[in-house]
A and B are shown apart, each in its own frame.
Chain A
Amino acid sequence: MGKLKLIIDGIIKNNPTFVLILGMCPTLGTTTSAINGMGMGLATLFVLVLSNMTISAIAKLIPEQVRIPSYIVVIAAFVTIVQLLLQAYLPSLYETLGLFIPLIVVNCIVLGRAEAFANKNSVIDSACDGLGVGLGFTIALTILGFVRELLGSGSIFGWKFIDGDGILAFVLAPGAFIVLAYLIVLFRKVTAKKA
């Protein structure tokens, strides 16, 4: 399978946020700004690539019945590593993302890709798949964060261009749901035209 195709598929055809509708919790909870969304996406990408590679490598050694718990432990280990690294070297991002970092472990995307792809394919292919899906997720979160930040705080990547606040609803709970809805519709329209 073409490695590049795998990556591109993850971004467009299998985009976890706009197509597969997976990993909604961090998508809604961490996109109050573009940087936060990007940070969350990249942390998840890190876990995705590493866990996909590891699970692909050891899949044959794991008995069928303990498959899921084993994958979960591997994923949880990588998530903890991300937690510790962020806490040590990017403490402000760590505080902003808060609870959602350990929640990467129950992000359906990670376990989903492990189950659907990594345990049946080679290590390199699995890495590409993880990279593609992770990039798709990161791009989706960054876009969502960008829109919410633009409309809600009047800033772009932290650079404020208005005095005072924007339309606060966008950085609060309702905004998350509603902006995501419109982005999915937009994505559908754009990709439908291509087909």
Chain B
Amino acid sequence: MEYIIIIISAVFVNNILLSQFLGVCPFLGVSKKVNTALGMSAAVTFVMALSTLVTFLLQYYVLVPLGIGFLQTVSFILVIAGLVQMVEIILKKISPALYQALGIFLPLITTNCCVLGVALLVVNNEFTFGGDPHMLNLGQSVVYAVASALGFGLAITLFAGIREQLDLNNVPKAFRGVPISLIVAGIMAMAFMGFSGIV
């Protein structure tokens, strides 16, 4: 039951992008076509699940026992960079077509705030999913990561759909490009605020 609450919370109520502001750079840069957005979301979901799993284990089995918690930022980002590199190599081998389609976006996942952001959130913060504040365990953390990635994917896919329509419309010259995208994002954020209070 708690897993369902985690999923609804991460995808709708506290959408990683529209309410926690993580992952905005690729959001503005990538999403002009729905297909690219979907491909990007899939890649991000995979990397986020994997990196949350590894960093969670790293935190509780290495950093905390050895008392080197201050190396959290350095070690986490190294893990993420390494994982993305690995995903690139594997993808090149098993699906060159997908690798080509994702192009530059794959290495950019390393600097995507939501990957590092979620990894840090699950080991540093307490959550209140349907109960007293508590730290998440491994299973809940991975579910949270996957759900956050799905929320990210939902946001950028919706956004790409809107952008596709927007290009056909008459946007005032000064607003073309980033500003109108930001305004659309703002309105989407407002819409998603309607989900507050569900969980």
Binding site for B on A (CB under 8 A): 21-25, 28-29, 68-69, 72-73, 76-77, 79-80, 83-84, 99, 102-103, 105-108, 111, 169, 172-178, 180-182, 184-185, 188-189
A184 contact set on B, CB distance < 8 A: 178-179, 182
Residue from the list A29, A99, A177, A185 in contact with B175, Cβ < 8 A? A185
B185 contact set on A, CB distance < 8 A: 177
Structural contact, B25 and A181, CB atoms closer than 8 A: no
A107 contact set on B, CB distance < 8 A: 111, 113
Closest approach, in angstroms, between the C-beta of A27 and any C-beta of chain B? Answer: 8
Structural contact, A178 and B112, CB atoms closer than 8 A: no
Binding site for A on B (CB under 8 A): 18-25, 28-29, 70-74, 77-78, 81-82, 110-113, 115-117, 120-121, 124, 174-175, 178-183, 185-187, 189-190, 192-193
Structural contact, B116 and A84, CB atoms closer than 8 A: no
A80 contact set on B, CB distance < 8 A: 70-74
Structural contact, A28 and B24, CB atoms closer than 8 A: yes
Structural contact, B73 and A185, CB atoms closer than 8 A: no
Structural contact, B186 and A177, CB atoms closer than 8 A: yes
Structural contact, A73 and B78, CB atoms closer than 8 A: yes
Residue from the list B72, B113, B189 in contact with A103, Cβ < 8 A? B113
Docked CA distance A108–B24 (Å)? 11
Docked CA distance A184–B186 (Å)? 14
Interface of chain B: mostly helix, strand, loop or mixed = helix
12 contacts between A and B (CB under 8 A): A24-B28, A28-B21, A29-B21, A72-B78, A76-B77, A76-B78, A106-B110, A106-B115, A107-B111, A185-B179, A188-B174, A189-B174
Residue from the list B21, B72, B113 in contact with A106, Cβ < 8 A? B113
A21 contact set on B, CB distance < 8 A: 25, 28-29, 178
Closest-by-CB residue of B relative to A68 is B81
B116 contact set on A, CB distance < 8 A: 102-103, 105-106
Docked CA distance A76–B72 (Å)? 10
Residue from the list A103, A108, A173, A178 in contact with B19, Cβ < 8 A? A173
B120 contact set on A, CB distance < 8 A: 99, 102-103
User: A24-B28, A106-B116, A111-B111 known; A178 and B186 CB under 8 Å?
Assistant: yes
Docked CA distance A178–B193 (Å)? 15
Structural contact, B19 and A83, CB atoms closer than 8 A: no
Closest approach, in angstroms, between the C-beta of B192 and any C-beta of chain A? Answer: 8
Q: Which of B21, B110, B112, B190 has the most CB of A within 10 A?
A: B21
